[in-house]
Every structure is written in structure tokens, then in C-alpha cells.
Amino acid sequence: MKRIMNIFPAAHERLYPFDFYLQMRRLYPVVYDEHSNIWGIFRYGDVQRVLGDYTTFSSAPQTSDSTILSSNDRYAAPFQRPSLLQSDPPYHRTLRGVIASAFTPIIIAKLQPHIENIAHEMLNEVIAKGSMDLIDDLAYPLPVTIIAELLGVPIEDHNLFRGWADTIVSSTGGDITDEHSTSNNIVQMIKEMDSYFSGIVEERTQKPRDDLITNLIKAQVEGRHLSNDEILTFCRLLLLAGHVTTVNLIGNTILSLLQNQTEFRLLQNDHNLIPSTIEETLRYRSPVQAVVRIVKKETNLGGRVIPSGQRIFVWLGSANHDESVFVDPERFDITRWNSTNSDQHRAHVGFGHGIHFCLGAPLARLEGQVVLRVILQRLKDLNLDADDGGKGNENLIPLQSVLFHGVTHLPLRFLPGPKKPNRS
């Protein structure tokens, strides 16, 4: 009987997909899933090739007849507007140039003291109890707060902003292989977001402020400004991509450290390893496990011929555990990215590769490093709040998503401590 391949980890494997990835890399590195009509790409070299070749592997969405949409198409559904993630050059190059000019490393670097203050404020709310849910109490609210402030959302509307974030994140938990699964309430929510942000865009056009929406309105490359639709789409993209990635990065970092006590003790004794720890988390437990591409022309990849029009899942999480690239890849090694380690020359693909390398990577890295430093400073005798140390514990429920990797909750316990005065 012919075996029907499945390119997706089973639900019970999502928290620990490493064995599944290992088997796929060894036996089925480029494989077709008949059930979903999708190809899976699992090896590092093939993943880098796909992400680096936009002329063959497109990021643009498709119409119902499987033709790839151009940047000039006008879409009926809000999710199908042209965006940074769903576009190819030359449109993507122009759009990224405009956005990047308003999202500079200088702007991001200036956020460090403020991110640190927010982290301290959030720990102040729980530190006297000696316990917290890292996701609910810190990893989730911090990036939402930062993104809202970057965009210029009024402080009184932050809860509304968080509500939208919840709805968008929950919408990725189902079977995203179904392109038509977007529910009516999601579409309605997007319309609400567009209406809300349209008002802010109009206001900032008349009365500019020091925020990202104002910068997006003013920014230009070769005389081209973003359209109103593009600005609205970017606001939604920043909420989803910038928020989910950072939540999972923070949660996955602490989970990995607490499940690898030797590395945790090493970090506690040397805070200079914080940047390397964040990089290792991006490799070991990549917050984004996969990205999707469309084959624009028939091509040979890994000895398999993939027809034009086929959709492929590019497994970043598997590539980051490729034993032909990384030494002892199943080990969480926070020294892996030090200057003396050879693995630093074989870049992980936790933030992607090629023209779609994550534009928000500097912000995610900064937030991850700041939060980790604050946790190390303030939470003493930190442990998972689980009897068996966490692995396999019922309290650790993975995100039910084929794209994102993390846990829904991460209960922690620590020694109760004092509140810290705000320095701002």
C-alpha cells in the first residue's frame, strides 16, 4: 500500500518536533503531502535556496485558479492586500525600502530603557507572590505595549489593541492549509482595525507626531510614499508578526533554560552570554517554524521535480536542527554563537533568509535580551512551576499552530522579592 506522507508534526509533537524533523531530513527531505497538496522542505541547504530564490519561489498569494497575483491586483478580502510578507520584487523592494526608512535601528535602539522599565513594572505586579505565568504576565503584554506605542495608539486604547491581537493570534491556531478558513468575525475585526487606524492616519497626516505611523506617512524612497491601504496593512502585519514572534521568543528562551539547568547556571554566572542565548533560542526553538512559498516555474529541488503552481512549506525549525550544518543540533548550547564557536558562521534561519529576512528582527532581539536580563536580575531561584520539571507536563500546552512554536502558558515560581522603583 502506498504511504501517504504527512509534512506536519502531529499535535502531540508540536512542543518537541525535533525527532519528526530528523526523520524527515534523513528520509524525506523534499516530499509531497497528497492530503494537503503541499510540499515540505526540511534540509538547511534546500531551505536557504528556496528563501533566496524569489524568482522561482514566490511569496505572492494566488487566485482561485492558482495563478500568482501581481502587486497591481486589488483584492476583495482584507487579508489579501499587498503586504511586505506577501509580495515579490520589484514591489516588495520598494515597499520594504519605504518601511525600513521609518523603522531604523536608531529608532529601535532608543527603546531599550523604555522596554526595561516596562519589564520591571510588569514584574512588580507579580514578584511579591513568588509565582507568575510568564506568557500572560510578561511575554504577551510587553511586545503588545511596545508595538502600540510605536504606532502611536493612545494609551486608553491599548486594551482594544490587545483584543485585536488575541483574535489574530487565535486565528492562526487552526489548519492554515485551508486558504478559505478565515471566519467572518476575523474579517469584521480587520474592518474595525482599518476603520480605527484610518482615523489615526488621517489625524497624523494633519498633525504629525513622533510615532511610527507618522514616520510611515512621511517616509519615501525615490519619491514614492506608502498608500493608505499599505499603511493599514503594515499596522496589522506589525501586530501579528512583531507580536507573536517576540512572545514566543521570550517564552521559548525561559523554557529552554529551565529545561537545561547547566546552561541556565552558566548564564546566571555570565550575563554577557545573553545575546548568544537569544540566538540559540532562535535556532533551537524557532518562534516561527515554517513559511509558505509558491513555485512559479517547474523546478528540481533535492532530486524531486516540483510542478509550477505548487505550494511549499519551508521548515525553518527543521533547517535550524540540520546536523550537516550545526554541531550537536539537539543540544541547547548558549555558547554556540560566541566568537570562538564555528557555528556562528553558519547562520540560523530563525528570522528567515533572503529578501524577506524579518524587518523587525532588531526589535525582537532587543526585547528578548532586555527581558532576559531583567528576569536574571530579579527572579531568584527560578523554576518551572511543575512537579516533573516541565517536559511532558500537562501544564505546558503547545500552540496549536503549524506556523508558530511556543507554549500557551508557562507557569513559574521564584523567591518573592521587593518591587523596583521606576527609573523613568
Give residue-wise pLDDT tens across range 332-358: 999 999 866 655 657 999 999 999 999
List the domains of the chain with CATH numbers: 11-413 (1.10.630.10)
Query: How far, in Å, CA of 399 to CA of 54, rounded?
Result: 29
Q: Is the pLDDT of residue 359 over 60?
A: yes
**Pairwise pLDDT comparison (403 vs 44), residue with the higher score:** 44
pLDDT at 252: 98
Residues 6+ apart with CB under 8 A from 78: 187, 190, 191, 194
Q: Is the pLDDT of residue 181 over 90?
A: no
Q: DSSP 3-state assignment of 4? A: coil
Q: Which of 324, 318, 310 is nearest to 289 (CA)?
A: 318
Q: Is the pLDDT of residue 42 over 60?
A: yes
Query: Band of the pLDDT at 392, cuts 50, 70, 90?
Result: very low
> H/E element holding 141?
helix 141-151
For residues 349 and 318, the answer to whether their CB atoms sit within 8 Å is no
pLDDT at 107: 82
pLDDT, average across residues 387-396: 54
Query: How far, in Å, CA of 95 to CA of 227, rounded?
Result: 10
For residues 389 and 98, the answer to whether their CB atoms sit within 8 Å is no
Question: How high does pLDDT run on average in the chain?
Answer: 85
**Pairwise pLDDT comparison (346 vs 270), residue with the higher score:** 270
Query: How far, in Å, CA of 100 to CA of 97, rounded?
Result: 5
Q: Is the N-terminal amide bond of 411 cis, ω within 30° of 0?
A: no
Would strands 304-306 and 299-301 be described as parallel, antiparallel, or unpaired? Answer: antiparallel
Query: Band of the pLDDT at 173, cuts 50, 70, 90?
Result: low
Q: Looking at residue 178, what DSSP letter applies? A: -
